[in-house]
Structure 1
Amino acid sequence: MKYVDFHVLVRSTKATIKSVELSGCSDSDVSCILKKGTNVTLHMTFTLKEDAKLLTAKVAGIIGPASIPFPLPNADACVNCGLNCPISTGTTVTYVIQLPIRKIYPQIKVVTRWSLIDTNQNVVTCFVVPTEIVS
């Protein structure tokens, strides 16, 4: 499933998202099906507009007004995720990570928000994708 401009949540001055792909999803899907007990792999390619020393990933499910954090196995986007930090202005990189869909998660339709945050807590990239957690 590829989401470029339509699902970009924050028009960051820090980076431009080029592409987002989630394993197991297709462009024609209304929402991405996330099966409990599996992993979803994210590939996000973006170009930095400012230098970044470190980046931290944050994932949350948005249900109504609530934002519920999803724990990541590795929130440090600069370690084992395809990024070599620090990253210079103008550099295009691809962030890759697997998100486990835990069996304890409820079966629910949820909008998932994925962000990369810099050391000053500024949003560098952020996108949303409609998802559905199933057994």
Structure 2
Amino acid sequence: MVFKPNEDIDQAATQVYGYLNGKIKAPFPLSDNNACHNMQCPIKAGDSITYKNALFVEPLYPTIPVIVQWELHTGSDTVTCFTVPVIIVS
């Protein structure tokens, strides 16, 4: 994802959620939620930055459609977020 933050970023955290049946918001556990491991920090406000990350989907997860919500946070502020529909298959 490429984005331009509205404020300087020294550190940020990644949070990922899945919406099951379009209603139930469930957090997705991450082994590393430090967003600066997936983009170059520090970042100046207005700079164009590329954030790259990938999730390993455990083979034991059921086959199910999920709406994934991906968020980057600085403290309690959301820097950017997006949602994407996925289908988990085994």
Gaps of at least 5 residues in structure 2 are none
TM-score if structure 1 supplies the norm length?
0.62
Q: Which residue of 1 aligns with 2:63?
A: 107
For the 8 Å contact 1:58–1:114, the answer to whether it is kept is: yes
* Larger relative strand fraction: 1
Secondary structure in 2 matching 1:100: coil
Instruction: Note the aligned Cα RMSD (angstroms).
Output: 1.2
Q: Which residue of 1 aligns with 2:29?
A: 71
After superposition, the C-alpha distances for 1:20-46 in whole angstroms (9 at most, x for unaligned) are xxxxxxxxxxxxxxxxxxxxxxxx111
Structure 1 segment 33-112 matched on structure 2, within 5 A: 44-63=1-20, 64-79=22-37, 81=38, 83-112=39-68
Identity of aligned residues (%): 39
TM-score if structure 2 supplies the norm length?
0.89
| Equivalenced residues, count | 89
Matched letter for residue 104 of structure 1: L
**Structure 1: distance between partners of 2:54 and 2:85:** 17
Gaps of at least 5 residues in structure 1 are 1-43
After superposition, the C-alpha distances for 1:60-90 in whole angstroms (9 at most, x for unaligned) are 10124321111223210112x1x22221111
Please report how far the alpha carbon of residue 57 of structure 1 lies from its aligned counterpart in structure 2 after TM superposition.
0.6
**Structure 2: distance between partners of 1:122 and 1:66:** 23
